[in-house]
Amino acid sequence: MKDFLAISVAAIVGANLRYLVSRFAAKEFGSIFPYGTLVINIVGSFIVGFFVIWTTERALVDPRWRLLVVVGFCGSFTTFSSYAFETMAYFEQGQWALMLTNIFANNVLCLGGALAGMAVARAV
């Protein structure tokens, strides 16, 4: 039961931060492209990459921390379902350049975020 509570609390934090980052990005950069989703996915990928490597190779921590950070926080913070919907909406609207940009940016930059997080975890 403690695991479910930890995941739930972290998910609340992740979901609210996702909302705030999305609003901030739309306000700062406009809403024609889902910059908030992109930033969230890159940051979430970095966090997962860093945290999993750091807690398995660098620091011995209780495995429940992985549930809290990776499953709870990042599970509600990252936005793959939003990314999928936004990409397909561009497809349906015939906005091919935005669709391809969104696919490329999210896939390449998020994989880069995960790799960067893993590298930073191994370097510290």
- Burial of residue 108, with CB atoms counted within 10 A of its CB: 0-12 exposed, 13-18 middle, 19 or more buried: exposed
How confident is the model at residue 60, as a pLDDT? 87
Residue 55 sits at the vertex; the CA angle it makes with 123 and 66, to the nearest 5 degrees, is 140
pLDDT of residue 79: 84
pLDDT at 103: 97
Query: Rounded CA gap, 54 and 64, in Å?
Result: 14
Would you tell me how many other CB atoms lie within 10 Å of the CB of residue 5?
11
What pTM value is reported for the model? Answer: 0.86
Per-position pLDDT tens, the chain of length 124: 789 999 999 999 999 999 999 999 999 999 999 999 999 999 999 999 999 999 999 998 998 999 999 999 999 999 888 899 899 999 999 999 999 999 999 999 999 999 999 999 999 9
